[in-house]
Amino acid sequence: MYPGTIGREYVTDVVQFVNDAEQRWAARQMNAVFKLVYTGVNSYDVNIMREFFVSKKGRLVDSGLTNTFTIADPLIPGTPYNYCYFDQDDFTTLCMGAGNRYNFVLQIRQARS
């Protein structure tokens, strides 16, 4: 198991009136945010992850959400997060000495619930 974080993102709209009063409301449902840290991954698995990243076009989210994917929650088995996309435009790895082991980080966001 690799370390990582799972968070929640809320988007709130705010209207400020002339008398400095505010009105706030949720602009959309809560969405998940992931940061997955991979360490000591072999070159074969890194290439598979890179191919998946390229196939999903990085940060690009098309209007039909056809290039999104589903992530299963590692902490709550059976809990899927649909409509996820990568929140980065590049797939960068760091080679860790001889033995072809690599470290990399994937940042993922949920486009909608």
Residue-range definition of the domain harbouring residue 65: 4-110
Determine the number of helices (DSSP H) and then strands (DSSP E) in the chain: 1, 8
The predicted model gives 53-62 an average pLDDT of: 88
How far, in Å, CA of 74 to CA of 14, rounded?
34
Count of the separate structural domains present in the chain: 1
How far, in Å, CA of 67 to CA of 58, rounded?
9
Q: pTM of whole model > 0.85?
A: no
Within 8 A by CB and 6+ apart from 26, the residues are: 10, 11, 12
Higher pLDDT, 1 or 59: 59
- Please give the mean pLDDT across all residues of the chain: 83
What are the backbone dihedrals phi and psi of residue 53, each rounded to the nearest 5 degrees, phi first? Answer: -60, -45
**pLDDT digits over 2-56, tens only?**
566 666 666 677 888 899 888 877 665 668 888 889 999 999 999 999 999 999 9
Q: What is the dihedral of CA 24, 25, 29, 30, to 10 degrees?
A: 30
The predicted model gives 89-112 an average pLDDT of: 88
